[in-house]
Amino acid sequence: MRKSVLEKDVISQLHQKSIEIPVIGITGGKGGVGKSTTAVNIAEAFLQTGHKVSLVDADVDSPDDHTLLNIPLNNPRDVAITQPLFNDSNCTRCRKCVDVCRINALFQPKNSIPILISDCNGCEACFLVCPSDAIERGEKIVGKTYMTEMGNLRLFTGELIPGVEESAFVVNALKDRAFNEVDDSDIIIIDTSPGTHCNVINALRGSDEAYAVTEPTPLGVHDLELILKLLRILQIKANIILNRSDLPGVKGKMRSIAKAYNAEISSEIPMDDLLVKSYVEGAPVIRMYPEAKSSKEIRKLSQKIAARHLQ
């Protein structure tokens, strides 16, 4: 299938990567399937084998990796976007800034300067078209990033301010910070938000491969296909982690979808009471109950990832 020039350009940008450390995306089309729990336990498995790990919690609407690890959020840093401030003395009332604003955030009363009437997404188009340098740069805080260091683990967390829509800016700021501060990490694990929206795309950008966490249910099948379609578009190698794998259901359909998208089912993690117990107690199951069925499967999976990227 032929790709448009725009699509080729987008894919090229998505694969830009400025570091040599392996980047592994943990993602999924459906919420509630254990994506973050899996990401945290994979990180713990690498820590137990002596590796230095950077875990990036890019689910900025609801970051919870720090809760699952029972560690604080440290070293906060504001994420701000540009907001236009209008200079009355320079403004010629030309309306070019109002006309170029695609989200209609600007309004210009008759014989007056423009005013900001709704949330601005910081695109800065108004600055580019203003012929009289009548717009100055203000700021709006839309979220925060954090970096918590515990032994060989560096946890990078992004958090969107409730009620703010510009979550993509927080994801991008988080990844910029993480990629600039990973130092001597051996591997970077990125825990994305569920779904196939822009934040997931931004989080996965630059990944060497991605693991889609799902479960053998009809909704799991539906959303697995969506995320595999996205990974195919992004040209990121796709793998599947089948969580709660011993649920009676549609495992055959899962295997058919995996084959259709040339994706490997890399791990099947069974239902495990000890995994639930560790979740409630706020610690990775692989640390609390190393002999649990789920711990053994996660350890095998981490060994597969290490064989591909850490040899």
**Which pair of tokens denotes residue 113?**
């300067």
Instruction: Round the average pLDDT of the chain to a whole number and report it.
Output: 91
Query: What is the band of 178 on the pLDDT scale with cuts at 50, 70, 90?
Result: very high
* Alpha carbon 166 to its chain's center: 14
Comparing 79-83, 180-184, 249-253, 258-262, the range with the smallest average pLDDT is: 249-253
**pLDDT tens-digit readout, 99-134:** 999 999 999 999 999 999 988 888 999 999 999 999
**Which pair of tokens denotes residue 89?**
């003395």
**pLDDT tens-digit readout, 66-92:** 999 999 999 999 999 999 999 999 999
**pLDDT tens-digit readout, 222-254:** 999 999 999 999 999 999 999 999 888 788 888
186, 54 contact by CB (below 8 A) = no
Domain annotation for the chain: domains and CATH numbers: 15-78+142-309 (3.40.50.300), 88-133 (3.30.70.20)
The length of the chain in residues reads 311
Helix (H, G, I), strand (E, B) or coil at 93: coil
255, 261 contact by CB (below 8 A) = no
